[in-house]
Amino acid sequence: MQHYIPFPDISPIVFTIHLFGASFSLRWYAVAYILGLVIGWRIVVSLVKHPRLWPGDRSPMQPRQVEDLLTWVILGVVLGGRTGFVLFYEPAFYFSHPWQIPQVWHGGMSFHGGLLGVMLAVTLFCRHHKIPLLQTADALAVATPPGLMLGRIANFINNELWGLPSHVPWAVAFPGPAASNCGPGWVGVCTRHPSQLYEAGMEGVILGTILLYLAWRTGALKHAGRLLGVFLTGYGIARFIVEFFREADPEFRSISDPMGNVVEFGHGLGGLSMGQVLSLPMIIVGLFFLWRSYWRRAG
């Protein structure tokens, strides 16, 4: 007997308002972004309110400055996330339909693109306000995992980014295209790894718990760049692992052999998915910041 979990009947839309002949819908994905930013903002405020956590017992910024930083971070997340999705995942489609690039309400955000956008925005903010960049990055590293967790849960509710076909007892019977694409030879209901929830647990709960513990209990914030290194390395490793259980991106699901026959396969780019390719530099940069924080301490 096949054991699996039915997909929960949760609408991706929280509510819809009809005004003057137009409809405005609030989606869980938007709620996840909003809550993630608010929770992250409160975490950073809490950290800077405790000077003892920072080098020389001096916080890198005042709590009131965190609100200004939040505005810059939001711009970095939205602009960077959308640009990254367009360039990394579906450039051919969006370059032929450029009017759809600004339509972020239809979905399509890249974490790696958002990260690059935030890095640029935070760098400009810190230079403008003469605030220590690495210490600010450490605070944001601690604040990011709750948003990642909520975002992945929203992906699950939206029935997107589902995992590979699987018969594990906790596999989920996703509706729609996921229900009819388990491949030839599949027996029974098409069920898949809930890879969105794997990511929510690894990138959100586990990584977030580690960062909070290091920040509040070990004095890691006194070593500029250390928690940034933990975050980049931890996220990169978590994402790299989860990608083995996640359905390959559409542009990497099939190739043609030299005879012109279509060959189906799970990952492209030398056996790696796009998520794994983009995560490798994160791991390398994260390890560099970890090494740097310990080297400076030793020196």
The annotation places the binding site at 152
How far is residue 73's CA from residue 77's CA, in Å, rounded to a whole number? 6
Q: Could you give the CA distance from residue 54 to residue 106 in angstroms, rounded to a whole number?
A: 41
DSSP states of 28-75 as a string? Answer: HHHHHHHHHHHHHHHHHHHHHT-GGGSGGG--SS-HHHHHHHHHHHHH
CA 71 to the chain's CA centroid? 19
What is the bridge-based pairing of β-strands 13-19 and 22-27?
Answer: antiparallel
Pair 177, 250: CB distance under 8 Å: no
Report the phi/psi class of residue 159: left, alpha or beta, with left for phi > 0 and alpha for psi in -120 to 50. Answer: left
Burial pattern 95-118, b for ≥16 Cβ within 10 A else e, equals eeeeeeeeebeeebbbbbbbbbbb
